[in-house]
Amino acid sequence: MSILVTGGLGYIGSHTIIELINQNEEVVCIDNLSNSKITMLDQIEKITGKRITFYQVDCLDKDALENVFKKHDDIDTIIHFAGSKAVGESVVKPLLYYENNLMSTINLLNLMIKYHVNNFVFSSSATVYGNPERVPLFETDKIGGTTNPYGTTKLIIEGILQDVYKVHKELNIAILRYFNPIGAHESGLIGEAPNGIPNNLMPYITQVAIGIREKLSVFGDDYPTPDGTGVRDYIHVVDLAKGHVAAISKLRTNSGLVIYNLGTGKGTSVLELVHAFEEANGVKIPYVIAPRRAGDIAECYANCDKAKKELNWVATHSIVDACRDSWRFQQYFTKMESEK
Ligand code: NAD
Ligand code: UD1
């Protein structure tokens, strides 16, 4: 049996492939390299000692995608990470987001049905909960009210998966709603390296720490939270990766369609994360309080009891671990870039 990982050279995909290899799973990876580099294959090999099977394939290219299914008739599971994920860009280029995220998923589902591949893991997001009425968020809470095309693609795909499952009961589908992934592999060899100015908090902090950016803007200190800054559920990317391994075990028991929050169950404010980073790494992060960012919500964190009970999975890394690992990767990445 092997596992097809789409978008496997990206941030979450690469960490997940390492955990799959650690479990002796056979991995076939495809990626169109639109937001990743081919050198990730070398990094994965350095960490695991294994060269994975890789094809540069775009999930929108039906023929190329079908060739992968034909060539690897032992694929039993697909983990679908491939997609576009920048919230701001999705507002400016909605059609690109709807086309890439929806069509790549539809193409995969059609091929799964044609080639009798039954297990599918989908990368969803806490963004599907919109502006939550209460926290923590349970999987049974209302979804909808997304504020940008990126978030809406996740919502629509969840709906597509529900509809397809109604008529294809042979499928086992895990919808995984990620909260805020941060951190990096403890080797420091892989991590999150966004192009341009980071939108997300942790990459911005590490770029301030290394001196690429002068200071962090804290978007709002007047939210109804303990210190006034936004609260999120930051999950270490290696814990998230292990959540996928656990979800696959569940699918292989013929689970049907299942939905899990993958988070820590704990909210952390912007300033708490900044201070944790400073303490973990002995580096000062200069910041200013700036106006709220449009579309932001005050608080978002998960209840993760369902994943604990049904997947036997819990996040074990702390915020301090994530701060240390993100910083280790940022230093490595900056050194590599400067030697180019
Ligand atoms: P990423 O951009 O690092 O990885 C996505 C990978 O998919 C990239 O390597 C990119 O080159 C590839 N890709 C994009 N479109 C493709 C296509 N049409 N065909 C083949 N490859 C394609 O993103 P990530 O942070 O690793 O996120 C992975 C998934 O998790 C995405 O679906 C994302 O929306 C979802 N997600 C991410 C977060 C987060 O904060 N990082 C949170 C919730 C959900
Ligand atoms: C964002 C996306 C969400 C996506 C998630 C994970 C928006 C509106 N939502 O959520 O769809 O699933 O990333 O990738 O963009 N912050 C600062 N200064 C910064 C950056 C962030 O103060 O320079 C604050 C934010 O206001 C927020 C917290 O840090 O309170 C986390 O922000 P971010 O990392 O962008 O994640 P989300 O807003 O949760």
For 4-32, give the DSSP string: EEETTTSHHHHHHHHHHHHTT-EEEEEE-
What pTM, to 2 d.p., does this model score? 0.98
Q: What is the pLDDT of residue 328?
A: 98
Site to substitute for ligand 1 among 31, 58, 106, most atoms within 8 A of C-beta? 31
Q: Taking residues 190-219, what's their average pLDDT? A: 96
Q: Percent of the chain having pLDDT more than 90?
A: 99
Structure confidence by residue, pLDDT tens digits, 65-96: 999 999 999 999 999 999 999 999 999 999 99
Rounded distance between C-alpha atoms, residue 256 and residue 248, angstroms:
12
Site to substitute for ligand 2 among 128, 143, 219, most atoms within 8 A of C-beta? 219
Q: Catalytic residue at 98?
A: no
For residue 292, how far is its CA from the centre of ligand 2 (angstroms)?
11
Rounded distance between C-alpha atoms, residue 103 and residue 97, angstroms:
10
Q: What is the pLDDT of residue 340?
A: 87
Which residue's CA lies nearest to atom 33 of ligand 2? 200
For ligand 1, say whether the CB of 244 is within 6 Å of any of its atoms.
Answer: no
User: What is the atom index within ligand 1 of the atom nearest the CA of 12?
Assistant: 26
For ligand 1, say whether the CB of 83 is within 6 Å of any of its atoms.
Answer: yes
The answer to whether the bond into 224 is cis (omega within 30° of 0) is: no
Q: What is the pLDDT of residue 16?
A: 99
The neighbouring-strand residues paired with 53 are 28
Rounded to the nearest integer, the mean pLDDT of the chain is 98
